[in-house]
Amino acid sequence: MELEARTATLRMAETFVISRGASDEAEVVVVEIRHDGVAGYGEANPIERYDESAATALVFLQDAEGLLGDDPFALEAIGERLKERPGEHAAKAAIDGALHDLCGKLAGLPVWKLLGLRRVGPPTSWTIWLGDPDDMARRAENVRGRFKRLKLKLGGGDGLDVERVRAVRGVSDVPLQVDVNEFWSLDEALEAIPQLQELGVEYCEQPLPAGDPGGPELKRRSPLPIYVDEDLHMLEDVPACAERAHGLTVKLAKSGGIREAVRIVHAGRALGLGMMLGCMNESGLAVSAGAQIASLFDHVDLDGNLLLAEDPWPGVELVDGVQLPPDAPGLGVREAVSHTR
Ligand SMILES: [Mg+2]
């Protein structure tokens, strides 16, 4: 198999703000893997929080072709070879996406069908990124009727997080989820979460810093389910997460792709955990990879391509609030002509 990798810059429709910072653009890596005259494509957004960037991912990818071998269906063996090289989970996810796209095209089947899964998963949430309470309420009002749940980014560090939720609740009846991105202490979480429960919030994602020693106590005392995102990367993290959370937030850019994500789902289910699938600010190419396995999850946050000024890989369709993967071989998305090199 031949592998070609490049970086691509995606422009956000509006500046995206979370507790760690703001961004107008997302820098992703795109992988093309060719076999028998067929090309598969994959994409992921390297996560700065874990010391990955498009540049470090590209270095990894430029040296990865030799790990692929000549059988695109040998996903387990390829995955084992990739795992021998540490880190660079986004680069690995882009390879995994390209291989699944390729296998689906060679088999003439959409990836969800190849994996024996249902096409339709839960409705996606729409992210209301961090801002003043009024501003967040205005943005929630703007999408009324289009999304069946909202995910609010909290962690403003200004004592206004509960007000943010109250303001959005004032304009929206849909289920709310909140993501604190590690910005609360145990005491702040124990004070805020009961108030969030009164406002009808479904669950609270990553209130504490990853690995915070207060995690197990918060799990015991929180009236709302706690989900962990920054605490969870790979299958091996699941047992420790079960001690501090009621649910897991999986992202392909963290797990290294579809195969490890599916393993995490089953391990989490065995421990009685809820499962959520998220994404990064990514195009339809990466979002389609997530959408293929979305039916395995309780909650889905796959709005990455919808937050872009323009999706360079159209094909995923928002139908009744669900990010529906295409009914076409592989990941089923095609690069828009205007973006072709
Ligand atoms: Mg999160």
The torsion angles phi and psi of 162, rounded to 5 degrees, stand at -65, -35
Cα 302 to averaged position of ligand 1 atoms, centre (Å) = 12
CB-side neighbour CA atoms (13 Å) of 23: 18
Pick the CATH number of 2-108 from 3.30.390.10, 3.40.190.10, 3.20.10.10, 1.20.1200.10: 3.30.390.10
Alpha-helical (H) ranges within 184-329 are: 186-198, 215-221, 238-244, 252-255, 258-270, 284-292
Q: Where in the chain are the domains?
A: 2-108, 125-339
Cα 183 to averaged position of ligand 1 atoms, centre (Å) = 11
The rounded distance, in Å, linking the Cα atoms of 113 and 210 is 35
Cα 61 to averaged position of ligand 1 atoms, centre (Å) = 26
So what's the pLDDT on residue 157? Answer: 94
The torsion angles phi and psi of 249, rounded to 5 degrees, stand at -105, 110
Averaged pLDDT for residues 274-282: 97
Place of tokens 């979460």: 193
Residue 85: pLDDT band (50, 70, 90) is very high
So what's the pLDDT on residue 291? Answer: 98
The rounded distance, in Å, linking the Cα atoms of 121 and 261 is 15
- Token pair listed for 211: 């690995």
Residue 338: pLDDT band (50, 70, 90) is low
Name residue 184's amino acid.
W
Averaged pLDDT for residues 57-84: 97
The rounded distance, in Å, linking the Cα atoms of 319 and 269 is 27
Does the domain formed by 125-339 have CATH 3.20.20.120? yes
Cα 251 to averaged position of ligand 1 atoms, centre (Å) = 9
Helix (H, G, I), strand (E, B) or coil at 339: helix
What contacts 84, CB < 8 A, 6 or more positions away?
none
Q: Which helix (H) or strand (E) holds 28?
A: strand 21-35
pLDDT tens-place string over residues 102-124:
999 999 999 999 999 999 999 99
- Prediction pTM value: 0.95
Averaged pLDDT for residues 64-87: 97
pLDDT tens-place string over residues 30-49:
999 999 999 999 999 999 99
pLDDT tens-place string over residues 219-263:
999 999 999 999 999 999 999 999 999 999 999 999 999 999 999
For residue 132, how many other CB atoms are within 10 A of its CB? 14
So what's the pLDDT on residue 16? Answer: 84
Q: Which helix (H) or strand (E) holds 170?
A: none
So what's the pLDDT on residue 115? Answer: 98
Cα 227 to averaged position of ligand 1 atoms, centre (Å) = 9
pLDDT of 20 over the 90 cut: no
pLDDT of 96 over the 90 cut: yes
pLDDT of 339 over the 90 cut: no
pLDDT tens-place string over residues 193-223:
999 999 999 999 999 999 999 999 999 999 9
pLDDT tens-place string over residues 131-174:
999 999 999 999 999 999 999 999 999 999 999 999 999 999 99
Helix (H, G, I), strand (E, B) or coil at 69: coil
The rounded distance, in Å, linking the Cα atoms of 192 and 185 is 11
Cα 18 to averaged position of ligand 1 atoms, centre (Å) = 10
Cα 228 to averaged position of ligand 1 atoms, centre (Å) = 8
Do residues 239 and 248 make contact, with C-beta atoms less than 8 angstroms apart?
no
Cα 181 to averaged position of ligand 1 atoms, centre (Å) = 6
Q: Which residues place a Cβ less than 5 A from the ion ligand 1? A: 179, 229
pLDDT of 340 over the 60 cut: no
So what's the pLDDT on residue 18? Answer: 81
Residue 337: pLDDT band (50, 70, 90) is confident
Residue 19: pLDDT band (50, 70, 90) is confident
Over the chain, what is the mean pLDDT?
96
So what's the pLDDT on residue 41? Answer: 98
Residue 11: pLDDT band (50, 70, 90) is very high
The rounded distance, in Å, linking the Cα atoms of 102 and 36 is 10
Averaged pLDDT for residues 75-84: 97
